[in-house]
């Protein structure tokens, strides 16, 4: 008899950050926001009529789409929403990368990109980052990257996080423009998951380049990782194509409470800015503290720091912090296996981290 196991798709899955189950730990490993979401979000969820759950949610998520369109000063037909930016990015991969040519992304970047490429049968080529994990815009324009006239399929698409992960380094918008302008024959996706913490958004370029798609998430700066809200902004043709794929795959991606809470989160700009400011201030203080402890790191513009120590290995520091109930992220990929990605927590959480590191480093 034929073994059904022979016909199962074999993939190497993405490995998310560890989610500890024990209480009382300090969790600095998945880049979550240490502060609660805007008060209006909690009010919207408390006031939600659970009886409405018997009905399907709005497949167009129009309340959320309209709120995002208004917030960014765009018409609704230029906004796409999904279940976190991972869902949005997956839909973009399926929609815009047809496999006719390899897509490009950095060799040190978000590790979900090669997983989606493998899952959807999309050829890809990783572009080496420069010294200090710097992404060089020139590597994505010209010979081997993309055609100047858009007639050749040397490049099937480009995906860049800005700021990049796990380095935290950000490119100026002028570099993003060079990449979009230099690759008119393919879609350029800029993953701005961390842009609210620093760096220069490329949103103003959307009116100039119809091949540019900007993806964002509520999981980091808006403290809503548990609700899973992501969105993309681009020209109407890009968004229409993504919706065609979405409605061919799963019409009801966002549930009703999430749609309402996501719209509510955009109303309290003062709260949003205040939490961002606290995280940025704590991040800059952390750079000074970690440097004083012998760590070196790129100048992060995100809500994390990608650090290596001059004497003690990253695996040892990771294990000894974990023994103390402090979780940071350690990657085992070659080239970054002696680095730790440390999420910026509250001042109290960071103080506990510094104290633990002092004990570990001796």
CATH value at residue 301: 3.90.1150.10
- Assess whether 176 and 307 both reside in one domain: no
Residue 68 lies in a domain: yes
- Assess whether 91 and 161 both reside in one domain: yes
Tokens standing for 235? Answer: 């020209």
Is the pLDDT assigned to residue 146 strictly greater than 90? no
User: What would the mean pLDDT of 167-173 be, rounded to a whole number?
Assistant: 97
Burial class of residue 19, CB neighbours in 10 A (0-12, 13-18, 19+):
exposed
Domain boundary among 231, 265, 299: 265
pLDDT at 147: 46
Q: Place 145 in a pLDDT band, splitting at 50, 70 and 90.
A: low
- Among candidate residues 144, 223, 211, 222, the one with its CA nearest the CA of residue 180: 211
140/276 Cα distance (integer angstroms): 31
Q: What is the pLDDT of residues 61-102, one digit of tens each?
A: 999 999 999 999 999 999 999 999 999 999 999 999 998 899
204/214 Cα distance (integer angstroms): 11
- Assess whether 237 and 305 both reside in one domain: no
pLDDT at 1: 66
Q: What is the percent of the chain with per-residue pLDDT over 70, rounded to a whole number? A: 96
- Assess whether 216 and 164 both reside in one domain: yes
Domain boundary among 213, 235, 265: 265
Predicted structure pTM score = 0.94
- Assess whether 61 and 187 both reside in one domain: yes
Is the pLDDT assigned to residue 347 strictly greater than 70? yes
Provide the domain count of the chain: 2
- Among candidate residues 341, 359, 256, 358, the one with its CA nearest the CA of residue 303: 341
Which residues, in sequence order, are CB contacts of 232 under 8 Å at separation 6+?
79, 80, 82, 88, 92, 213, 214, 215, 216, 238, 239, 242
Q: How far is CA 4 from the centre of its chain?
A: 36
- Assess whether 249 and 292 both reside in one domain: no
Residue 2 lies in a domain: no
- Assess whether 223 and 301 both reside in one domain: no
Q: With contact defined as beta carbons under 8 Å apart, do 221 and 197 qualify?
A: yes
- Mean pLDDT rounded to a whole number for the chain: 94
65/148 Cα distance (integer angstroms): 34
DSSP 220: S
120/122 Cα distance (integer angstroms): 6
- Assess whether 221 and 127 both reside in one domain: yes
- Among candidate residues 328, 290, 324, the one with its CA nearest the CA of residue 309: 290
Range of the domain at 336: 17-34+269-361
Residue 173 lies in a domain: yes
pLDDT at 148: 44
User: What would the mean pLDDT of 227-246 be, rounded to a whole number?
Assistant: 98
User: What would the mean pLDDT of 154-168 be, rounded to a whole number?
Assistant: 95
CA distances (Å), 68 to each of 226, 247, 255, in order? Answer: 19, 20, 17
pLDDT at 16: 85
Q: What is the pLDDT of residues 288-317, one digit of tens each?
A: 999 999 999 999 999 999 999 999 999 999
- Assess whether 292 and 230 both reside in one domain: no
DSSP 141: S
User: What would the mean pLDDT of 133-148 be, rounded to a whole number?
Assistant: 76
- Assess whether 259 and 160 both reside in one domain: yes
Is the pLDDT assigned to residue 151 strictly greater than 80? no
């Amino acid at each position: 008899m034929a073994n059904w196991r022979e016909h199962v798709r074999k993939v190497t899955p993405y490995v998310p950050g560890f989610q500890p189950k024990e209480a009382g730990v300090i969790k600095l490993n998945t880049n979550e926001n240490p502060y609660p979401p805007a008060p209006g979000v909690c009010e919207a969820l408390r006031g939600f009529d659970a009886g409405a759950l018997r009905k399907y949610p709005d497949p167009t998520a129009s309340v959320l789409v309209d709120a995002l369109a208004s917030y960014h000063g765009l018409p609704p037909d230029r906004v796409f929403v999904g279940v976190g930016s991972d869902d949005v990015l997956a839909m973009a991969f399926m929609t815009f990368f047809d496999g006719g040519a390899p897509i490009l992304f950095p060799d040190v970047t978000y590790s979900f990109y090669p997983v989606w490429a493998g899952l959807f049968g999309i050829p890809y080529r990783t572009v080496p980052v420069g010294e200090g994990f710097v992404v060089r815009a020139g590597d994505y324009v010209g010979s081997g990257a993309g055609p100047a006239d858009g007639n050749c399929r040397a490049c099937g698409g480009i995906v860049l996080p800005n700021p990049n992960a796990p380095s935290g380094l950000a490119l100026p918008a002028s570099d993003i423009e060079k990449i979009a302008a230099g690759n008119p024959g393919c879609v350029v996706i800029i993953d701005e998951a961390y842009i609210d913490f620093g760096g220069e958004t490329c949103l103003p370029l959307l009116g100039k380049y119809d091949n540019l798609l900007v993806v964002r998430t509520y999981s980091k700066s808006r403290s809503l990782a548990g609700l899973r809200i992501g969105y993309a902004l681009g020209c109407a043709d890009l968004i229409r194509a993504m919706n065609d794929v979405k409605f061919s795959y799963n019409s009801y991606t966002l549930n009703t409470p999430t749609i309402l809470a996501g719209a509510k989160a955009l109303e309290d700009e003062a709260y949003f800015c205040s939490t961002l400011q606290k995280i940025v201030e704590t991040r800059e203080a952390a750079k000074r503290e970690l440097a004083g402890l012998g760590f070196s790191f790129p100048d992060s513009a995100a809500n994390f720091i990608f650090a290596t120590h001059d004497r003690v290995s990253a695996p040892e520091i990771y294990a000894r912090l974990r023994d103390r109930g402090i979780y940071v992220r350690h990657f085992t990929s070659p080239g970054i296996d002696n680095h730790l990605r440390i999420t910026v927590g509250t001042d109290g959480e960071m103080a506990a981290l510094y104290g633990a590191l002092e004990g570990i480093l001796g």
